Amino acid sequence: MIKEILYDREYFSPLDTLECGQIFRFRKVENGFLVMSDDRACVIAENGENTAILCNEGDEEYFYDFFDLKRDYSKIYEKALRSGNEFLEEAARVGKGVRILNQNKREMMISFLISQNNNIPRIKKIIENLCNALGEKRNFMGYEYYTFPKAVSFFDKTPDFYKGLGLGYRSDYIGNLKDIASDDYMNMLSDLSGEKLKSELLKIKGIGEKVADCICLFGFHKTDSFPVDTWIEKIYREDFKGELKNRKAITEYFVNLFGENSGYFQQYLFYYKRSFEKLAKK
DNA sequence: TACCAGGTCTGAC
DNA sequence: GTCAGACATGGT
């Protein structure tokens, strides 16, 4: 039985929410997008004044939470518009339909470990390879997909296995992660405050400042996180006329500026800059 | 062809 | 503590 959730589209655009760089498992289908999370899938599409979520009966609550539908984004948007920074204001207008998803924690940890020094199309492909190899084959509304692998699926794999999937030098990091991405470990992380969570993540080989910020923001919804990658560094330099070189210092600069809204604003900025550059190349 | 991508680790200073 | 160089691989 397929269920439908309707939600006002003003602050929930399928395209903005999926293309802003926070999620790697989705694909265009007829009339909308197939979105995968952990072992589930749904289809989201624009439907008049609403965005419609189609999911299996029993998954309604999961996806209601996944798309962060309990939160009032008008307040976040209004704050961005009143920030006094023209670039952010324009970015917010363009990305008005962005929401920060509540994604599976293990999936985020592994996905962003793969993301380092890599581009989004290839990150998507590697994660798809990983799911095809270790996940379970499923079907939703006639669309075939693979679930994100369970922790136990990683336990007996060697770095060579991951190299075969295209992970390159990151294979050693995933190999190192196999014991600690267990359910117990992830539950332990869930109980930590933002600061302690980040310092715990930084103990893991392959996770540095930026990836830790991404996991905090996209896996644990710590919205006082502000990941700084090559794009954000470029925005900082070109659009905020900043002079700091050190990425950690740039993160601190933005968190001081935006506080609890750092993560939301970061997504507006990232999405806007990348869309702009894509258009410029065409 | 070279440079770049949602960076991090290592060893030298 | 800071910094250059290495690191796999495919997109553009």
Give yes or no for residue A234 having a pLDDT over 80.
yes
On the question of pLDDT at A44 being above 80, the answer is yes
Mean pLDDT of A34-60: 98
Instruction: Tell me what pLDDT residue A26 has.
Output: 98
pLDDT for res A281: 66
What pLDDT does residue A31 have?
87
- Angle between helical axes of A86-94 and A262-281 (0-180°, round to 10): 80
Q: Determine the average pLDDT of the residues in A67-87.
A: 97
Q: Is the pLDDT of residue A279 over 80?
A: no
Nucleotide whose C1' lies closest to the alpha carbon of residue A118: B5
Nucleotides of C under 7 A from a protein CB: 2-3, 7-12
pTM: 0.97
Res. A280: pLDDT tops 80: no
* pLDDT in the model for residue A181: 85
**Long-range contacts of range A159-164, CB-CB < 8 Å, 24 or more positions apart?**
A162/A130
According to DSSP, residue A223 is labeled T
A186-226 confidence digits (pLDDT tens): 999 999 999 999 999 999 999 999 999 999 999 999 999 99
| Nearest amino-acid residue to C9, taking CA and C1' | A168
Task: Report the C-alpha gap between A233 and A246 in whole angstroms.
Answer: 9
**Through-space separation of residue A61 CA and nucleotide B3 C1' in angstroms:** 45
pLDDT, tens only, A93-144: 999 999 999 999 999 999 999 999 999 999 999 999 999 999 999 999 999 9
* Average pLDDT of the segment spanning A148-176: 94
Return the percent helix, strand and coil in chain A, to nearest 5. 55, 15, 30
Strand partners, A144: A139
The pLDDT > 90 percentage for chain A reads 95
- The pLDDT of residue A28: 97
